[in-house]
Every structure is written in C-alpha cells, then in structure tokens.
Structure 1
Amino acid sequence: MIAGSSTVFTLAERLAIEFVNEGYADQLLIDSIGSGAGFERFCVATETDISTASRLIHSDEIATCQGNGRDPIGFRIGSNVLAVVVSADNDFVEGVTLEELAEIFSTAETWQDVRPDWPAEPILRFAPGTDSGAFNYFVEAVFEQDPAPLLNAANLQLSEVPAVLREGIKLSPFSVGFFDYAYYAEQSENLRVLAINGTTPDATRIETNDYFLSRPLFLYTTATIMQEKPQVAAFLNYALSNATSANERVGYTAPTTARLNEGRRNWLVAMDLLQQDERLYLPKVRAESRLIVE
C-alpha cells in the first residue's frame, strides 16, 4: 500500500505501471491523499508501506512515526519544477518578485501596470489546462490554492499541450507563460526563463530547493518494512533505477546522479548490505484519487 502526495502520485503511478510491466504479479495500490494525510496513514495508523511526499517529513511526523515503531527513511526520486518563461525577443524583463508574478498572472492588464518602466502593452498569458498538475501547483504556490485570479485574467490561453504553450509564447515579446521546467529544458530555443526573487531554476537550485517553484519528491518507508516485505524493497530499487526516465515521461525533473547514488547507498544500508558508517545521509532541512495496478 502506497499513499500520500497527489504530485508524487503522477510519478509513482508511472513507476508502478512500468514495475508491473516488468513482471510484478501482485496487486499494487496507490492512494492520492496529500503529503500530510499520507504521513498520518504511515506514522499514526501504520497501515501503509510507502508514504509519498512533495516535501521533507516534518520533525513532529518523525517523532510520531518513531513512537509507533517506525523509523522513516526518505528516498528522493524527483522534483516538480515550473519555469516562468517569456519570448527571447522580450528585452525588458529579466526577473520578477513573487508579488509581481502574482500581478502578471492576474490583475495587471499591461506590463506597465507591473513596473512603470515596462511597455504599456497588454500581457499575453499562457498556462497549462486546469486539469494539469502544473496549473494546480502554480495556483497553490502563487494564489494560495485559489484559481480565480488566474482564470479571470485577460488574454489567457490554456492548453494541455506544452508545445502549444511554447509556440504561443515565442510569437510575441509581450507574452509570458509557465509550464513544467522539463518541457522548457527540452526545447528552450527562442524562449527565456525568468528569475523569481533573483533565482532561476538551474540544477543546483532545484536540488537544494532554493528555487521558489520547485518541490522535492520523496518515497518514505522503513528498513523493517523493506526487510520484511521484499516487494517493497524491489519497488524502491526499481524507482531509484528508473527515476530518470520516469520523470522525463511525466514532465518532472530527475534527481542528480549523486542524489540517486545516495539513495541507492541508503537502500543497501536499509537492507543490511552496507555498514552503517558507509551511509550517506540526506541533508537536514526544516523540517482521493486511487490507482490499482494488477
């Protein structure tokens, strides 16, 4: 049983389908209930084998887990990153503050409404469709989960197809849009990514969670569960081995090779295949949909 983040659900679903296609013959159940609710089921009810999260587990959640005989281990399997982009022909915007980002995608009618020295030209907005994870993440991060400001903005074009968004943004220096960073990295010609609060989404800032529109994606379990349930250990091993390709398929950003190697080493430690002093620890940071694959 796997439960937790709706964001990780997309990636876990892809990994689960491929895991089954590779020969796993038993039932694999994944619930999308949110990171916090996932830890409730993992740490309090102790009814799940893997808890998915789009954040690090909090210290109080660790304490609850340990109080119920579970010592959680986290494996980072990806990042959910959004890029805010403009046309390469845009020569007046290099970056924006969080407040300006919200204005650009809501009430501002012209660029000059955001900053007086920007052109008095209408803002042409492009965004993923309302059913996409990118749309929901942007709304959550920028508008505190209220989609109305974005949906009521003038000159807004929505599309579920990243290529449509890219092409639309390229056509005008007064266009702006957002979508998964992986789709920007895949084809960035004639586009330019904007800094947010002075930070752009490069590999280092994504890995250290320093870019505003970036969330780490984790699978949490325990060494005891892995040793008592070989199918759990096998799925985690599969996830670490196939994280790069799975992230590419769902539009997320894969972990660095160093991060994946760290996860593999921690997997070996959990399975008592390495000495404890060889373990590499993850850095300490402040701390319902359903899929059934048969």
Structure 2
Amino acid sequence: MASSHDADTAGITRRKSLAAIAGAGALGLAGCTSGSGGSGNGSGGETLSGDIRISGSSTVYPVAQEVTRQFAEQHSEVSFNLTRDGSGGGFNNVFIPGDSDMNNASRPITENELQRCRDNGIEPVEFFLAQDALTVVVNNEADWIDSISLEELRTIWSPDTAPELWSDVNSDWPDEPFDLYGPASTSGTYDYFIEAVIGETEADQDIRSDFEGTEEDDLIAQGVSGNRYALGYLPFAYYTNNPDTVKALSLSEGGSDPVEPSLQAAQSGSYPLARPLFSYGHMGKIQEKNHLQAFIEFYINEAAKDYVAEDIGYVPASQDMVDSNLANLEEAIAGEYEYSA
C-alpha cells in the first residue's frame, strides 16, 4: 500500500514543546473547566444562522461531534456537516480545496499542506484542543504479553523488517503469524505512528503494507478482538470505548519502565505516545462568518470541560491552551493571524 505520509521531520520536537505548553498551568483532570464559553451570538446579539463544514480526523471526531451537538441545540439555525476523512484526507480533499471551514487533525499540519493552503489563498488557524495517549492493543487472550517497547513496535511495523511471526521479534512470544490492524494512510494517527515509532526506512514505503487499515477506529478494536494473535493501535478514546474487548499494552522506550496508557500519563508526558490534537480554521471564512466565529469560541471553551476526559477519553485543554486558542481566534477575525510551526 503506497503511503501518503509527508509529515514534517521536526514534528516530534514540536510535539514535545506542545506537551510542555499543555502542561503549563494545567488544572487537574477532575477540575479543568475553563472560563465561560462564548455567548453563541454574534455582535449585537443577533440570531446565528448558516452552515459549518468540518472535515478531518477520526481521532478528534468524538470531541467535535459532542461540541457541534451542543452548539446546534442552542442555535437551531446553524447546521453542521461533520465528517471523518482522516487528518491528511481532510486537508488534501476538503480543506485545502476550500470546501470546509475547519479541519480536525491528530497531528500538526505539514509544511507541504501549509504551502498548498497558502497557494490556494488559505491561511490555516491552529487551535490546540486536547491530548491523546495513542494506545497499542492486543487480543484479550494474548497472555504472553502485557507490555511492549517502541523498539519492538518498530520491528513489527517497519517495512525493512516486517516479521511474519511473533517469535521473530521476541523468542518468548508464540510461533504464530501477526494479524495487524491500524488506521488508513489518510489518517493523522497513521502519520504520527510512522514518525514516532517507525521513523525513516530503507524501503520505498513508510509502513508494512500487510495490515488492515481503516478510518473507523472502532473497527480496529473489533478486528483485534477477533484474533488471538492480532495487534493494533488506536486513539485512547476508542480503547476506552472497547475496554472489555481488547487489552491495552504498557509502553517502554529506550530501556525505561513500561507506562500504562492513561490521561494522567499523557498529560505529564511520561507516556511515550502522548500526542496533541488540533483543529485548523480557514481564516478567510472565519472573517466572513459570524456564526463560525461564535462556534469556534464555543469549541475552544468546551474542549477544556471535564467531559472531554470523563465521557470521551482525552486530556482536556489547559487554561493556557484556551487562552492561546482565543488569541489565535481574535487575530484571525482581525485578519492578522499567520501560522508558524
């Protein structure tokens, strides 16, 4: 399967700096509610109406789904078209052509995507909304494994090695073939996994091709649950939706002690596959649409609410993130925002 991966080589460094921003001044997971959200009305209190098209990440989709539902309940004349296209699929097929107002993403926008946006007269406005603990899962009957290292994951998934049997990676593991599941190549989760785990390869592809790829993350859990020798990776929120059907593995890196996937470990940065989640707005459309401005303000504030952790399964935005996002929105409305990695 040919890869569409073109993530920035400096992405991991940037993710670490974003994790520091997320942690700075962050409140506890049980008390992270930000200040009051947007009023939902435009200037002067006029009734909001119009359409909002949101494309992109299946990882961010559960947050966007709940926030759009709440906003639509308050503003019945605003309608939403929310789709799961994958981060890259959303950028390439919907946002960059100018067909969506926002694109959710489970990794930062790439240099290539940014340039193509600007070539089309679009300045993408970044909103850092939440954090995820990308989770590696196995079948519940996989009693030979409770933790795995990033180095072992790289061996399993790299096209340079592509082992056929579990025992090819670790002699203590069974002499049985892998059954692998993961996101499709249009997914930001796919891009992030390649950059964080696989890195550069000698092959002409970024990841081994003999796996089941999908934009429906629940299908990854279902696939793993159906084969004792399966392994996959998916966003933490989708693991928490399927806690009885698959087993999450603790992760280690460079000889460190394994760390279980959790919101606390993602927030602290101790979990090796903690990552930021974003939404990108079309600055021109933000300037033109009062209802889009009101919705993004609402989205920013809702992303800091307790239910993002309790009901969905991500680390909510800290107050510093909320303040930074609101400043980005204000600059975008004024036409003064310029994206910088």
Residue pair 1:44, 1:65 contacting (<8 A) in 2 also: yes
Distance 1:56-1:179 versus aligned 2 partners, 3 A rule: closer
For residue 87 of structure 2, what is the amino acid of its counterpart?
S
Aligned equivalents of 2:263 and 2:287: distance in 1?
A: 34
Residue pair 2:134, 2:236 contacting (<8 A) in 1 also: yes
For residue 69 of structure 1, what is the amino acid of its counterpart?
G
2:321 equivalent to 1:270: no
Aligned to 1:51: 103
SS class of match (2:323): helix
1:9-24 matched pairs, under 5 angstroms: 9-24=61-76
Query: How far apart are residue 216 of structure 1 and its match?
Result: 3.3
Aligned to 2:251: 194
For residue 84 of structure 2, what is the amino acid of its counterpart?
S
1:112-151 matched pairs, under 5 angstroms: 114-116=169-171, 119=172
Residue pair 2:102, 2:280 contacting (<8 A) in 1 also: yes
2:278 equivalent to 1:218: yes
Distance 1:2-1:216 versus aligned 2 partners, 3 A rule: farther
Worse-superposed segment, 63-72 or 34-43: 34-43
CA offsets 1:32-57 (integer angstroms, 9 cap, x no match): 33333433456653232222222222
Distance 1:65-1:271 versus aligned 2 partners, 3 A rule: same
Identity of aligned residues (%): 23
Aligned to 1:234: 294
2:118 equivalent to 1:66: yes
CA offsets 1:219-275 (integer angstroms, 9 cap, x no match): 2124442232111111111111111424643333433432232112222333349xx
Aligned equivalents of 1:209 and 1:267: distance in 2?
A: 27
Query: How far apart are residue 75 of structure 1 and its match?
Result: 0.6
Distance 1:211-1:219 versus aligned 2 partners, 3 A rule: same
Distance 1:205-1:120 versus aligned 2 partners, 3 A rule: closer
Aligned equivalents of 1:202 and 1:35: distance in 2?
A: 23
Aligned to 1:257: 319
Aligned CA RMSD, in angstroms, stands at 5.3
2:135 equivalent to 1:75: no
The alignment's TM-score, normalised by the length of structure 2, stands at 0.52
Residue pair 2:155, 2:163 contacting (<8 A) in 1 also: no
Aligned equivalents of 1:129 and 1:101: distance in 2?
A: 13
The alignment's TM-score, normalised by the length of structure 1, stands at 0.59
Consecutive unaligned residues of structure 2, counting only runs of 5 or more, are 1-51, 199-204, 214-219, 226-230
SS class of match (2:277): strand
Residue pair 1:248, 1:254 contacting (<8 A) in 2 also: no
Query: How far apart are residue 76 of structure 1 and its match?
Result: 1.7
Aligned to 2:33: none
CA offsets 1:162-191 (integer angstroms, 9 cap, x no match): xx9xxxxxxxxxxx986644688999xxx8
Consecutive unaligned residues of structure 1, counting only runs of 5 or more, are 152-157, 165-175, 286-294
Distance 1:207-1:185 versus aligned 2 partners, 3 A rule: same
Aligned equivalents of 2:300 and 2:291: distance in 1?
A: 14
Distance 1:185-1:126 versus aligned 2 partners, 3 A rule: farther
Distance 1:192-1:148 versus aligned 2 partners, 3 A rule: closer
Residue pair 2:53, 2:99 contacting (<8 A) in 1 also: no
Distance 1:20-1:204 versus aligned 2 partners, 3 A rule: same
Aligned to 2:40: none
How many residue pairs are counted as aligned between the two chains? 257
